[in-house]
Chain A
Amino acid sequence: MFDESDNVRKINTINRRLFIITAAKILVFFGLTSRLFSLQVKQNNKYLTLSDKNRIRESKLHPVRGEFRDYFGNVIAGNNEVYQLHIIPEQVEDFRYITLRLKNILNLSEREFQKIHKKRKKIKAWETIVVSDNLTWEQFSKVNNYLHELIGVKTVLSISRIYPFNENYTHVLGYVSQANEKDIIDNENIKEKFVPGIRVGKTGLEKTFENVLLGENDIQRFEVNAYGRKISQLNYQKGSKGQDLNLTIDTEIQKLCTELLKDKAGSICVMDIFSGEIIAMQSSPSFDPNLFLFGINQDDWQLIRNNPMKPLLNKTINGRYSPGSTIKPIVALSALENEVINPEFTVHCKGHKHPLELYGQTYHCWKKEGHGFVNLREGMKQSCDTYFYEISRRLGVDRLSETAKKFGLGEKVFGELFENEKKGLVPNTIWKKNALGQSWVLGETIITGIGQGFIQTTPIQLCLMTAQIANGGYKIYPKIVLNNDQQYLDKYKPLFKNSKNIKIIQKAMFSSTNEVRGTSYKSRIDDPKYQFAGKTGTAQVKRITEKDRELDLKTFEIPYEERDHALYVAFGPYKNPRYATSIIIEHGGSGGTTAAPIAKKLFKLIIDRHKLRQSIKEKKYLDI
């Protein structure tokens, strides 16, 4: 210790080593400083965002769905205020007691009761349990009576879809229901706006216009702590309601259609022959879309699903039918246009004893006794099959199909407006070669001429076809959404070679309804204000055998599934045509007895409402 030289050595060592250590310390502190600089200054934005993400929770609220209105502005799919019942578990003293009380007050089933308890286990104490998303008025007032005893329970005002006209618009609008996984995957927009319990369109226009209708969510921004508890509301961003859509449909006529189709399976559609506006479009049977809003119960669903009349099918656009004799105006027109015949061309119909024979096959007219000598006008009027066998034989299927397609058969009427609208089928020789790999047979031409065989049409196509004959032969584009006008270059393009031919067809259709021996003579209206012209159709569901012909059973004697479909197409008023309609009653028997009388009731109302409709239209133009 007292050795000076050792002391010096020791001091030298310690100082040298101190120097090294101090240098290391400075280096480390410098390193820490640069790390701090990198985190806090250079990457500040990144971490600031992360910190905000940590603490800010956005909660999206239900967007308010756009409404549907009819032509006159009546709400046909609206938004209804509903009362929901919420429980916030952390505010409840005794959860079991409170839920038991609610079970009694609301008459909840044991299953619903268990469901609440199951939910309780899944969520945090400060989150909300929705006990009911649609309290009836009775339940609501009952709960409100006891509310002071039910601490932690509250009634909340919410908005839900309502269809005030129940089954009237189901097939046009479709319905909304809770979004499922598929909806979210298929539609980016739904995914973005998704909140638990959001209702989205499942079918019909509700689905087609989903993105327009959906609206923007209100957004609440909360500051939350690490456990997700809300600390304070930072801001509230108001969303916007989805766009309202106006339809061209007249609810009064729509309601009449529903009534006329009551207890029947079938379809009615009515169209403005100049603008293509759909005035009414109903498929029967229908169902109440309100059932689907809060989840349909199993019984109701089975009832709808298992109904043999297929309420889920929109027959107007998804139903494919043989057009039967309603095709005859097109066959005749095609023959005139192609100058195969002239109006005075005459065929002798000899009845069942002497049917038309071709290559061993016989082709009967519907009338046992035969029509005698018929020209075009008589052939149409009495719907003589033999006459149309003859002219379609002369015409050939390819020329017929060309005309039919021109008038809108075999093609989607609404384009992509309705999902799975059917195209139908207008056959020709090329089609058969491609689709079936077989050559066309003359016999097939013959039956195509009376709307049987391969040819298939949807009721909306028949309506369009009739409308285009009624308006003098000009192309129109049907529409159902008013403010969804598209520009078509070939709108009002003439579909005929000679306008005289259209006139001839119109006159023939007039005679069919308004002259003695016409097939729908019984359904005529003499008052020129309402007078309409039409063509009946009776589409065979089953091939008629010789035995059937002998038996000659009445409609009600045949089993339901084997009865003919009754069809009727018409336009009116005859003097100054405005509207066209197509009516199909599945298994209704003959068109003249079942479908045509419906048109009579329909045209009365359609024409009565014409002035009103016109005044709205004029007002709309004035607004511009």
Chain B
Amino acid sequence: MSFNNFSHELTLFQKIKNYDFLLLFCILILGITSIFTMYSTDGGEVLFHTKSHFIKFSIFFPMMIVLSFINIKYWHAASYLFYVLILGLLIWVALYGVTASGSRRWINLYFLNLQPSELMKIAVILCLAKFFHRIRTTSTNSFTSILVSLTIIIIPSILVITQPDLGTAILISFSGLIILWFSGLRIKYFIYSFLIFITSLPFIISFLKPYQKLRILTFINPERDPLGSGYQIIQSKIAVGSGGLTGKGFLKGTQSYLDFLPEKHTDFIFTLFSEEFGFVGSILLLLLYSIIIYRIIRAGLISRSFFSRLFCFGFSFAIFLYVATNISMVLGLLPTVGSPLPIMSYGGSSLLATMIGFSIVLSASINHRQNIS
């Protein structure tokens, strides 16, 4: 294959040869782990969550493989469309969304409730990757490009904040900002905006809703209301801490089995895993995520196109961000913000978004020689 051949098509054999089987394997292992953990949250029975999670994973995993054979250039071509589509869905949600526990986040699709904000996490990366793919280094820091890129980030963020879902909005913004970082936005801008953020913090806090303020207070001192707002984090720490070196054993986590753990299917699933498999299990899980993140970065590094590169780096950071926020939260290092653990947590939209992201990464690694004009 010649170096500058930008219209070559790979044969199926070549595609399989280029396939990142290690990443695929890791995702599969993670998926299987998540199904077993879900089985444990159901109290050692195949109940709703286990079944549902199993079905979703068994649909989305093959779907990911199929999608990964789509050439990366088509993803590039469809990026803006994808972004606009998801944005449209977010607006739809704002108007006609399904409300549950006080926030309007879902679209009722009859077979599943879709949460477009989860998909937006991917869409915003995709969109910005395409945007900066086209821009020359010299104009990266131009006023127009900054304005456009910030608009791309801010519009969905505001839509998500109003749902209200602060956690997802923050994750969307960060996923977008990281693309700005990679594409060469001056570091001083980041420093300035960080300083502005810090100084305006008291102002922002005054705009927070009472329950959000409470979460911050609880984060600072969970013991101030052990049965109320501090309950989750205290019980979560107890569960993790009592796991010990090797854990209480599969299906033997008393904290979760006896219902002391809140939200154990979703945001707090790491707690249950950690209680049952201990320090060793937790480290192995972190290692699994690290390998996945590494493989995503590698896919970006070998890619010829900036689009692939930007997307992979951005997505790897997003995965890292989800994992880090989620685990920090359950370990009491961050205030409780709703952020699922990728693949492990129950939730179709999040799983779907993550799988789409992976399929793009896999596609990028198959087509790493692909140039995109």
Binding site for B on A (CB under 8 A): 1, 3, 6, 9-10, 13-15, 17-18, 21-22, 25, 28-29, 31-33, 35-37, 39-41, 43-44, 46-48, 50-51, 54-55, 223-227, 231
B267 CB, min distance to chain A CBs, angstroms = 16
Question: Which of the candidate stretches B74-82, B146-154, B279-287, B341-349 sits at the interface with the other chain?
Answer: B279-287
- The answer to whether the Cβ of B184 comes within 8 Å of any Cβ in the partner chain is yes
Specify which chain A residues have a CB less than 8 angstroms from the CB of B137 in the assembled complex: 6, 9-10, 13
Contact A47 B238, CB 8 Å, known A32-B324, A32-B328: yes
Which residues on the B side are within 8 Å of A48 (C-beta)? 241-242, 244
Say whether B25 faces chain A, with CB atoms less than 8 Å apart: no
Contact B184 A13 (CB under 8 A): yes
Asked whether, in the complex, the Cβ of B182 is within 8 Å of the Cβ of A17, the reply is yes
B interface size (C-beta, 8 A): 47
Q: A51-B242, A54-B254, A55-B260 are in contact. List 18 more A-B contacts (CB 8 A).
A: A3-B136, A10-B306, A15-B301, A17-B182, A17-B184, A21-B313, A25-B320, A32-B327, A36-B282, A39-B237, A39-B241, A44-B242, A44-B243, A47-B240, A51-B239, A51-B241, A51-B254, A227-B259
Contacts of B310 in A (CB 8 A): 14
A55: shortest Cβ distance to chain B, in Å? 5
Does A37 contact B239, Cβ atoms closer than 8 Å? no
- Tell me the bound Cα distance from A327 to B240 in angstroms: 80
Name the contact of B184 in the complex, choosing from A3, A14, A33, A51 (C-beta under 8 A). Answer: A14
B238, B309, B373: the one contacting A50 at CB < 8 Å is B238
| Cβ-defined contact, B259 with A36, below 8 A | no
Complex interface: chain B residues within 8 A of A50 (CB): 238, 241-242
Interchain CA distance A224-B278 in the complex, whole Å? 23
The residue that A40 contacts in the complex, of B134, B245, B290, B320, with Cβ under 8 A, is B245
Interface status of B297 (Cβ within 8 A of chain A): yes
Give min CB distance, A622 to chain B, whole Å: 59
Q: How near does chain B come to A161, taking the closest CB pair, in angstroms?
A: 38
Contact with A along B267-308 (1 / 0, CB 8 A): 000000010001100110010001001000100110000100
A231 to B258, alpha carbons, bound, how many Å? 8
Is residue B178 within 8 Å, beta carbon to beta carbon, of the partner chain?
Answer: yes
Most-contacted residue by chain B among A14, A17, A31, A48 (CB, 10 A): A14
If A17-B184, A40-B282 touch, does A54 touch B317 (CB 8 Å cutoff)? no
Q: Check if B370 is an interface residue, CB within 8 A of chain A.
A: no
Q: A29 vs B328: C-alpha distance in the bound complex, in angstroms?
A: 10
- When distances are taken between beta carbons in the complex, the residues of chain B under 8 Å from A225 are 258-260
B189 at the interface (CB under 8 A from A): no
Q: A18, A36, A46: which contacts B283 (Cβ < 8 A)? A: A36
Nearest CB of B to A31, in Å: 8
Interface 1/0s, chain B 138-181, versus A by CB < 8 A?
A: 10000000000000000000000000000000000000001001
B255 in contact (CB, < 8 A): yes
B242 CB, min distance to chain A CBs, angstroms: 4
Known A13-B184, A14-B313, A32-B286: A40·B258 in contact at CB below 8 Å: no
A sample of 24 cross-chain residue pairs with beta-carbon separation below 8 angstroms, ordered by A number, consists of: A3-B136, A10-B137, A13-B137, A13-B183, A14-B184, A14-B313, A18-B313, A21-B181, A21-B313, A21-B317, A22-B297, A31-B333, A32-B324, A33-B283, A39-B241, A43-B241, A44-B243, A47-B238, A50-B238, A51-B242, A51-B254, A54-B255, A54-B260, A225-B259
